Amino acid sequence: MANTVIIGSQWGDEGKGKIVDMLSSGSDVIVRFQGGNNAGHTIKVNGHQTILHTIPSGILHPGKLCLVGNGVVLDPFVFLQEVDELSAQSVDVSPSRLGISPKTHLILPYHRAIDIARETMKKGKKIGTTGRGIGPCYEDKAARIGLRCGDLRNPDLVRSKIRTALQEKNVLFANLYHCDVMDPDTVADEILGIADRMTPYLRDVSEAIQDAVKSGKIVLWEGAQGVHLDIDHGTYPYVTSSNTVAGYASTGSGIGPDRITRTVGIVKAYTTRVGSGPFPTELEDETGKFLQENGHEFGATTGRPRRCGWLDAVVIRETARLCGLTDIALTKVDVLRGLPTLKICVDYEYKGERIAYPPQGENALADVKPIYEELPGFSEDITGCRAFAALPATVQKYIKRIEALTGVKVSIVSVGADREETIER
CB of 8 to Mg ion, least distance (A): 8
C-beta of 75 vs 318, nearer to ligand IMO: 75
- Which of 118, 230, 416, 423 lies at the binding interface for ligand GDP (CB under 6 A)? 416
CB of 272 to ligand IMO, least distance (A): 8
Pairing of strands 341-350, 369-376: antiparallel
Locate the DSSP E strands across 298-419.
307-309, 311-312, 327-331, 341-350, 353-355, 369-376, 409-414
For residue 318, state whether it binds ligand GDP (rule: CB under 6 A): no
Locate the DSSP E strands across 203-287.
219-222, 262-268, 271-273
Decide which of ligand GDP, ligand IMO, Mg ion, none touches 415; Cβ closer than 5 to 8 Å per partner kind: ligand GDP
The yes-or-no answer on residue 41 being catalytic is: yes
For residue 335, state whether it binds ligand GDP (rule: CB under 6 A): yes
C-beta of 59 vs 108, nearer to ligand GDP: 59
Q: What is the DSSP letter of 420?
A: T
Site string for ligand IMO, 110-129 (x = CB under 6 A): -----------------xxx
Buried b (16+ CB within 10 A) or exposed e, 366-399: eebebebeeeebbeeebeebeeeeebbebbeebb
C-beta of 101 vs 301, nearer to ligand GDP: 301
- Which of 4, 7, 9, 12 lies at the binding interface for ligand IMO (CB under 6 A)? 12
Which span sits near Mg ion by CB under 5 A: 121-129, 278-286, 294-302, 355-363? Answer: 294-302
- Which of 114, 158, 208, 300 lies at the binding interface for Mg ion (CB under 5 A)? 300
Asked whether the CA dihedral 60, 49, 377, 367 is positive or negative, the reply is negative
- Position 342: which residue type? L
- Which of 64, 105, 132, 317 lies at the binding interface for ligand IMO (CB under 6 A)? 132
Buried b (16+ CB within 10 A) or exposed e, 131-143: bbbbbbbbebbee
For residue 40, state whether it binds ligand GDP (rule: CB under 6 A): yes
Other CB atoms within a 10 A radius of the CB of residue 356 amount to 12
DSSP states along 100-117: E-TTPEEP-HHHHHHHHH
C-beta of 68 vs 368, nearer to Mg ion: 68
The yes-or-no answer on residue 13 being catalytic is: yes
Pairing of strands 341-350, 353-355: antiparallel
Count of residues that interact with ligand IMO, criterion CB under 6 A:
23
CB of 204 to ligand IMO, least distance (A): 25
For residue 40, state whether it binds ligand IMO (rule: CB under 6 A): yes
Question: For residues 291 and 417, what is the distance between their CA atoms, to the nearest angstrom?
Answer: 15
Count Cα neighbours of 69 within 13 Å in the Cβ-side half-sphere: 26
Decide which of ligand GDP, ligand IMO, Mg ion, none touches 44; Cβ closer than 5 to 8 Å per partner kind: ligand GDP
C-beta of 118 vs 307, nearer to ligand GDP: 307
- Catalytic hit among 21, 41, 53, 61: 41
Question: For residues 35 and 344, what is the distance between their CA atoms, to the nearest angstrom?
Answer: 29
- Position 82: which residue type? E
Give the CA diameter of the chain: 65
Question: For residues 356 and 389, what is the distance between their CA atoms, to the nearest angstrom?
Answer: 31
Which span sits near Mg ion by CB under 5 A: 12-20, 331-339, 351-359, 380-388? Answer: 12-20
C-beta of 91 vs 300, nearer to ligand GDP: 300
Which span sits near ligand IMO by CB under 6 A: 8-16, 61-69, 150-158, 319-327? Answer: 8-16
* Interacting residues with ligand GDP (CB under 6 A): 8, 12-18, 39-42, 44, 296, 300, 331-332, 334-335, 414-417
Q: Which residues are part of the catalytic machinery?
A: 13, 41
